Amino acid sequence: MIVITGAARVADENRAAFEKVAERQVTLSRQEPGNVSYSYFEDRMEPGRFFFYEEWRDRAAVDFHFAQGYCHDFMEAARRLAEAEPELTIREIMVKAG
């Protein structure tokens, strides 16, 4: 399984636009066949700081996801709307059967 985490800090004046593109990204990503889960959250202790958590079946699913036009649109919008370059981490997780 592949786990992707991300974070972005968004100013109040960009909040509505950011949430609109984030919700579109989550909705469409959840429909992809290789998606296990995809969510985003706002830090209750730091309003305007958003976190993303994604789980993907395998690397092929991630590659397919990153090739989607709406994914490119989201990444472009997140860079434009965030106060600094958004963070992104990709990790491969070994899952034990059991």
pLDDT band at 98 (very low <50, low <70, confident <90, very high): low
pLDDT of residue 2 exceeding 80, the answer is yes
Task: Note whether residue 36 is domain-resident.
Answer: yes
The domain of 65 spans 2-92
User: What pTM was estimated for this model as a whole?
Assistant: 0.91
Task: Note whether residue 71 is domain-resident.
Answer: yes
- Residues with Cβ within 8 Å of 34's Cβ and at least 6 positions away in sequence, in order, are 56, 57, 58, 60, 61, 62, 64, 65
Overall number of domains in the chain? 1
CATH classification of the domain holding 54: 3.30.70.100
Question: Mean of the pLDDT values across residues 2-30?
Answer: 97
Report pLDDT digits (tens) over 20-78: 999 999 999 999 999 999 999 999 999 999 999 999 999 999 999 999 999 999 999 99
Task: Note whether residue 98 is domain-resident.
Answer: no
